[in-house]
Structure 1
Amino acid sequence: MRLLIHHQTEYRYTEPQARVVQLLRLTPASHIGQNVVHWRIDVDCDARLKHATDGFGNVTSMLYLAGPVERIGLRVTGEVLTEDRAGVVSGAIETLPPMVFTRTTELTTPEESLLALAAEHDRASGDELSRVHAINSAVHAMIRCTEERSTEVRPVSEVIAAGRGCSMDMAHVLIAAARAAGFAARFVTGYIYRDDPGHGHRQAPHFWAEIDVPGFSWIGFDPANDMCPSDRYVRVAKGLDFRDAAPISGARVGGGHEVLNIGVDVSLSQGQLQS
């Protein structure tokens, strides 16, 4: 598919800020099955952008703004060619060994029901790939997916207690279950194209997990949709959990509160629509 991405983010502050520094993980990289044709980040105020690569291999941009800052508008636009590889990740930059992604974090600590799920799908229950598919489907059945993104980042125990959550929450639950079952697993941020009439294209970034399956290496699994990522997905950043791969994170110097508005539109290019 030839996908067009438009991602707008606006911050408004109730009081002027003396300084704002933000870390942006908003730029995807090309690899087998994903070719970035063009990509740009625009800021609608006087700011400095410094590009780099973090320890996970993510493309990052540091945004620096000197005060007084009352509003920040970010616009990301890009075009990406994708192929359906059944979730298999090949040719991507790997800066860390899979063993790093077996480490439990505050957000992905498994609780009793996930330990039971991992035990149910142990090595005696089938081959490695079938086990991971079964765990992904079990998480999909366990947590009701909500269209709205959670306003706070919650640990797995709270998500399971609520029985519902957004794609970010469900990715954390899958990661916790997969690690408990002995797999390396990591969090992934990106975008998804939807063409169902009842959904609409206006949405938030999408989140899923990648699991290191022996014999296959890294494969993506999306518990929110109970499937492996296809050519409708654009993969952007990865980490141990959301905090390592968040599209935007940072700090500000100043009082008051911030109000955040996010809008994402993923569509097909006109050329593909005509064909």
Structure 2
Amino acid sequence: MILDVSHVTVYRYDASMRSAVQSLRLFPSRFDGQRVIRWSVEVVGGMRGGSFRDGAGDKIESWSLRGPLQEVVIRVEGQVETVDLAGVLRGHRELAPPEAYLRETLATDADAAIRTLAEDAIEGISGDLEKAHALAGAVAEAIAYRPGVTHAHTTAAEALKLGEGVCQDHAHALIAAARHVGLPARYVSGYLFAGADGEPHEAAHAWAEVFVAGLGWVGFDPANGCCPDDRYIRLGSGLDARDAAPIRGLARGEGEESLDVTVALAAAQQ
């Protein structure tokens, strides 16, 4: 599938800011499941700084802006060809060992309820891939998809207790459960063209990857009950949502910040 992407992020301030810096992880991953046809990232009025690939293989680019600033606009435009690899991250180059993703974070700490869910889900299952599928299914059943009931700082334990959440909550809960049973797991940010039923989906999306011995990293999207396929564009990964954030920034000044994000995906060819 060939997907067109338009992603605009606008930070607005109610008072002029003196300067701003941005660290962007907004570049499609390099692996066998996707090929960039064209891609551009721009911070309007900003100065492009250095870029590098981190240990997880993600490209990160820095930008800076001089004030006075009333807003910061980040524009992403591009086209990517995707291939369905049944969730397997084949051909992706990275340096970080899988064991690095056994570390817990505040968002992915496994409380008693998550530990019980994980242990019950894999009871009687021996294979790592089968365990990962069982954990993803258990999380999907335990947390109903419902926008607006959680927030950016909701933890996996809180979402499970609530029984509702969004893709970020599903990913955090799966990561926490997988790590508890000894499977390295990480958070992935990206885009989704449409849900499994073909209906349009909120384009900015997140899911989890679990490391399976002998196979490598495999993606699981409990929010949609599937593994990532050619409807998905992968950007980057991290220990949790904060670590994998596509945009990180800092503005100097006294103004209060507001945020507006518009993401649109369209199939150019199918």
TM-score range, shorter-chain basis?
over 0.9
Cα distance, 1:261 vs. partner? 0.6
Inter-partner Cα distance in structure 2 for 1:70 and 1:85: 44
Residue identity (%): 39
Q: How does 1:22-61 map to 2 (within 5 A)?
A: 22-61=22-61
1:106 maps to what in 2?
Answer: 106
Q: How many residues align?
A: 270
User: For each residue in 1:238-257, what CA deviation from the matched residue of structure 2 results, as whole angstroms up to 9, or x when unmatched?
Assistant: 11111221011121211131
Cα distance, 1:45 vs. partner? 2.1
1:159 maps to what in 2?
Answer: 159
Cα distance, 1:25 vs. partner? 0.6
User: For each residue in 1:9-35, what CA deviation from the matched residue of structure 2 results, as whole angstroms up to 9, or x when unmatched?
Assistant: 111001111111111110113211211
Q: How does 1:132-151 map to 2 (within 5 A)?
A: 132-147=132-147, 151=151
Cα distance, 1:211 vs. partner? 0.3
Q: 1:141 corresponds to which letter in structure 2?
A: E
Q: Provide closer, same or farther for how the CA distance between residues 57 and 10 of structure 1 changes in structure 2, counting only shifts above 3 A.
A: same
Q: For the Cα contact (< 8 Å) 1:84–1:231, is it kept in 2?
A: yes
2:83 maps to what in 1?
Answer: 83
Inter-partner Cα distance in structure 1 for 2:153 and 2:23: 17
Aligned to 1:27, what secondary structure does the other structure show? coil
Inter-partner Cα distance in structure 2 for 1:113 and 1:228: 25
TM-score (norm 2): 0.93
Cα distance, 1:173 vs. partner? 0.6
Q: How does 1:211-230 map to 2 (within 5 A)?
A: 211-230=210-229
Inter-partner Cα distance in structure 1 for 2:157 and 2:211: 24
Aligned to 2:116, what secondary structure does the other structure show? helix
Larger CA deviation: 38-47 vs 203-212: 38-47
Q: How does 1:180-259 map to 2 (within 5 A)?
A: 180-194=180-194, 199-200=199-200, 203-259=202-258
2:97 maps to what in 1?
Answer: 97
User: For each residue in 1:179-232, what CA deviation from the matched residue of structure 2 results, as whole angstroms up to 9, or x when unmatched?
Assistant: 11110001100111117899546x351000100112211100001111100110
Q: For the Cα contact (< 8 Å) 1:39–1:76, is it kept in 2?
A: yes
Cα distance, 1:148 vs. partner? 5.4
Inter-partner Cα distance in structure 2 for 1:197 and 1:209: 20
Aligned to 2:135, what secondary structure does the other structure show? helix
Aligned to 2:30, what secondary structure does the other structure show? coil
Q: For the Cα contact (< 8 Å) 2:122–2:131, is it kept in 1?
A: yes
Q: For the Cα contact (< 8 Å) 2:149–2:164, is it kept in 1?
A: no
Q: For the Cα contact (< 8 Å) 1:188–1:208, is it kept in 2?
A: yes
Larger CA deviation: 143-152 vs 225-234: 143-152
User: For each residue in 1:102-144, what CA deviation from the matched residue of structure 2 results, as whole angstroms up to 9, or x when unmatched?
Assistant: 1111110011111012222346324221221111011011111
Q: Which runs of 5+ in 1 are unaligned?
A: none
Inter-partner Cα distance in structure 1 for 2:150 and 2:68: 30
Q: For the Cα contact (< 8 Å) 2:43–2:73, is it kept in 1?
A: yes
Q: Which runs of 5+ in 2 are unaligned?
A: none
Inter-partner Cα distance in structure 2 for 1:31 and 1:127: 25
User: For each residue in 1:139-170, what CA deviation from the matched residue of structure 2 results, as whole angstroms up to 9, or x when unmatched?
Assistant: 01111113459542222222222221111111
Larger CA deviation: 247-256 vs 231-240: 247-256
Larger CA deviation: 38-47 vs 85-94: 38-47
1:172 maps to what in 2?
Answer: 172
2:115 maps to what in 1?
Answer: 115
Aligned to 2:154, what secondary structure does the other structure show? coil
Cα distance, 1:50 vs. partner? 2.9
Q: For the Cα contact (< 8 Å) 1:167–1:207, is it kept in 2?
A: yes
Q: Provide closer, same or farther for how the CA distance between residues 218 and 160 of structure 1 changes in structure 2, counting only shifts above 3 A.
A: same
1:67 maps to what in 2?
Answer: 67
Higher helix share: 1
Inter-partner Cα distance in structure 1 for 2:210 and 2:58: 17
Q: 1:44 corresponds to which letter in structure 2?
A: V
